[in-house]
Amino acid sequence: MSKVYTWDQLFSRRQFIKGTAATAALGAAVGAGLLRPGSNLAQNSSLHNSDLAKGVKYVTTICEQCVWRCGVIAKVENGVVKMLEGNPNHPNNSGRLCPRGNAGIETLYSPDRIKFPLIRAGARGSGLWRRASWDEALNYTAEQMTKIKEKYGAKAMMFNSTDNLSQPFFEILLKAYGTPNYGTQRSLCFNAMTTGFLYTYGVPQPGTDYSNCKYMIFTGRNLAEGISNSETQEMIEMVAKGVKVVVLDPRFSKTASKATEWLPVRPGTDLAFFLAMIHVIIKEKLYNPEFVNKYSQGFEDLAAEVQEYTPEWAEKKCEIPAETIERIAREFAAAAPAAIAHPNWRTSNFVNSFQNERAIAVLNVLIGNWAQPGGLIPDQELNTVKLGVLSHPPFPAAQGIRLDGVPWQYPMVPLAYGVIQTMRDNILTGKPYEAKGWLISRQNPVLSIPERQKTINALMKLDFVGVIDIQASDTAYYADVILPESSYLERFDGLIPIKNKLFIRQPVIEPLYETKSSLMIYKELADKLGLGEFLPYQDEKDLLRKQLEAFPVTLEELQQAGHYEVENFRVDHSKDFEFQTSSGKIEISSSIMAQMGKKAVPTWSEPPRPDKDHYYLLTGKTAQHTQMFTQNNRWLLEVFPENRAWLHTSVAAKIGVKSNDEVVLESEVGKVSIKAYVTEGIRPDCIFMVGGFGHVSKGLKAAYSLGASDSALHKTVTDPISGSSALSETFVTVSKA
């Protein structure tokens, strides 16, 4: 039996850090003033790198500091990554990286990386581990998964992963294993938007033509901080050109600060604003009758429904003056078709967010901006080159209903989106059956699902928890086995087609530690489970060659150039006006809503309001961090050290606090202590926290205990239609600590 270590011992043992490479990059980092003086990397700076080979090279690859997949060129000197720069040939970022992209070097050289497989050696969550070989760790994982399958059936095993380039291969693994239980991040993120647009246009996520747009309305879409690199750049260009940008947000976000008009809407009532805009546009006949008649159905029902939604009615709900709503409706229609009510992204705020997204979708229909310059762009997936696929035996039929309630509890949620928070809840209830095992790759549900304690309880209840991560995430902390992935700068992933080009993520240096790509972790685990024929490749290069089969380019050529442009690829616009809905038309009146016995046109749904002395708790992103992931990145901590609770000046005065004083926030499900940030830039009835802080894993040595987690406060509230988690339906009290 090998020795048992605590996290502290594991991560301070210098022999496990191949220090030479880590240290050379460090010089650059410290020199650039990017490291905190107390950082572990800074303390290790006395190591030498004299045995490294000489020479500088530039390697083209893809960023994974968030989900946007920007092109990166890495400068590698003597085997050490010295600098990351944006690839000017990449459409997702046109040569620019965001702060998180630049800080990828610290993700690679972090002393808190998991450097070899670990098997739990004390009680779950005790932080006691032993080092394992890959063979032992994979055997152990496969044995546990096989035991569960034999005793309880494949359905007792859940597989979770957040969108990433190798996710298709994770999906093959779970389908081959035979479980119906697959959890993604989607119901915490964009379910309301994607279902809202799917049930209107038959397309879950249309694009937006920023460059020709003359009038843009964002609803809580905060492109300046919830960064989508290329779109953020396009938004800034739009602002610079003087295009009218209206932002609805209860908070003065960075995007609101760039906008022509900020509307501090009452949370949860954007729907009233949009229904009233629709009312004005129909009443004043400002819509496009040719487009509406030719391509859509349900206009008459809509006109009848919105009759009562006058701007005066809406003002009482959303607290935006009736004249402002009227004016914006007229301006918006006058700019048509080069006007967009943006689809938004993480619109998981209220149970009515789905209705809100439907109203937004329908507003776009009325002005006929579909496939027009400055309007919505039809499904871009259709116009993208297709990769070669693996051939494998048919999947076994998954036995049993899904634990997340799709479709038996949530008939309108597409299977691919799922409802992860319900899956978590049903682990605890044991209904409709007991879950026994959880394999989680690239996801941190302990912090990303509401009610942190419930998620921890769910992990504690299971027979087996396996986690694939690069660091000791809060979820990995509660695992039985941690399979460490190589960082994105050390590995291959599946290829990325974007329109007529193929891009590659490839190692810019050899893995520093005993880590593997998830492509190989899934493959080797499949082998151990006797499912190897479902992932039939020898190694990553073999797989990528199969993906490249149809193209006249070798893998080596692709690696050298970083991308490959498919010749004579024609964008096919012939299907732009073929709508994949039940009626074949754009559905102002949704057939599926009607079938479900629900009102088929967008309709008002009253959101809950906080009681006296309670506040809406709002959440969102900051430009310097990603989700529940980068808070341990010491470079990013330098520029954004912790989250604070935004309080309106009047609220702060009432409880007698100033910025950086400690306050206590309490909801029905939790209580946290956090520093205050006092500002005029938020409605007096709201408190805002950036998500992702308040880590519980002691393996995240820089981030542990910094700031507070709003997931510890969030109630679990789910929209029964879209499955979206209503993150802003939690109300809190605030007091001086």
* Minimum CB distance to ligand MGD smaller for 110 or for 426: 110
Among 229, 475, 518, 589, binds ligand SF4 (CB under 6 A): 229
* Minimum CB distance to ligand SF4 smaller for 61 or for 590: 61
CB of 229 to ligand SF4, least distance (A): 4
Restricting to residues 695-724, name those near ligand MGD by CB under 6 A.
710-711, 714
Quick count: other Cβ atoms within 10 Å of Cβ 124?
A: 16
Among 39, 65, 144, 161, binds ligand SF4 (CB under 6 A): 65
The two tokens of residue 403 are 């634990």
The piece of 23-31, 430-438, 484-492, 564-572 that touches ligand MGD (CB under 6 A) is: 484-492
* Minimum CB distance to ligand SF4 smaller for 16 or for 68: 68
Q: Are 52 and 20 in contact (CB under 8 A)?
A: yes
Site string for ligand SF4, 532-571 (x = CB under 6 A): ----------------------------------------
Supply φ then ψ for residue 148, to 5 degrees.
-65, -45
Helix locations, 335-444, DSSP H? 353-366, 420-429
Among 112, 209, 231, 249, binds ligand MGD (CB under 6 A): 249
CB of 701 to ligand SF4, least distance (A): 22
The piece of 29-37, 97-105, 164-172, 268-276 that touches ligand SF4 (CB under 6 A) is: 97-105
Quick count: other Cβ atoms within 10 Å of Cβ 526?
A: 22
Rule CB under 5 A: is residue 341 a binding residue for Mo ion?
no
573 contact partners, CB below 8 Å, separation of at least 6: 371, 378
Q: Are 729 and 668 in contact (CB under 8 A)?
A: no
Rule CB under 6 A: is residue 505 a binding residue for ligand MGD?
no
CB of 65 to ligand SF4, least distance (A): 3
Supply φ then ψ for residue 80, to 5 degrees.
-120, 135
CB of 348 to ligand MGD, least distance (A): 7
Length in residues, the chain: 737
Query: Position of tokens 């960075």?
Result: 254
CB of 385 to ligand MGD, least distance (A): 25
Question: Is residue 675 classed exposed, middle or buried when 0-12, 13-18 and 19+ CB atoms within 10 A define those classes?
Answer: middle
C-alpha 296/C-alpha 67 separation (Å) is 34
Residue 131's Cβ-side half-sphere holds a number of Cα atoms within 13 Å equal to 14
Among 7, 68, 354, 693, binds ligand SF4 (CB under 6 A): 68
C-alpha 560/C-alpha 566 separation (Å) is 16
* DSSP character at residue 697: -
Residue 65's binding partner out of ligand MGD, Mo ion, ligand SF4, none, with CB under 5 to 8 Å set by partner kind: ligand SF4
Largest CA distance in the chain: 79
285 contact partners, CB below 8 Å, separation of at least 6: none
Beta-strand ranges (E) seen in 607-648 are 615-620, 645-648
Question: Which residues partner with 718 through β-bridges?
Answer: 725
Helices (H) and strands (E) in the chain, counts: 25, 28
The piece of 61-69, 467-475, 557-565, 577-585 that touches ligand SF4 (CB under 6 A) is: 61-69
Among 189, 238, 440, 732, binds Mo ion (CB under 5 A): 189
Rule CB under 6 A: is residue 451 a binding residue for ligand MGD?
no
Restricting to residues 187-206, name those near ligand MGD by CB under 6 A.
188-189
Rule CB under 6 A: is residue 69 a binding residue for ligand SF4?
yes
Q: Are 685 and 616 in contact (CB under 8 A)?
A: yes
Residue 445's binding partner out of Mo ion, ligand MGD, ligand SF4, none, with CB under 5 to 8 Å set by partner kind: ligand MGD
467 contact partners, CB below 8 Å, separation of at least 6: 439, 440, 441, 473, 475, 476, 479, 481, 482, 483
Among 17, 21, 59, 63, binds ligand SF4 (CB under 6 A): 63
Q: Note the residues at the interface with Mo ion (CB under 5 A).
A: 189, 346
Q: Note the residues at the interface with ligand SF4 (CB under 6 A).
A: 63, 65-66, 68-70, 93, 97-98, 100-101, 227, 229
Q: Note the residues at the interface with ligand MGD (CB under 6 A).
A: 64, 66-67, 162, 185, 188-189, 219-222, 225-228, 248-251, 253, 265, 267-268, 270, 344-346, 349-350, 441-445, 448, 468-471, 473, 485, 487-488, 518, 618-621, 623, 625-629, 688, 691, 710-711, 714, 727-728
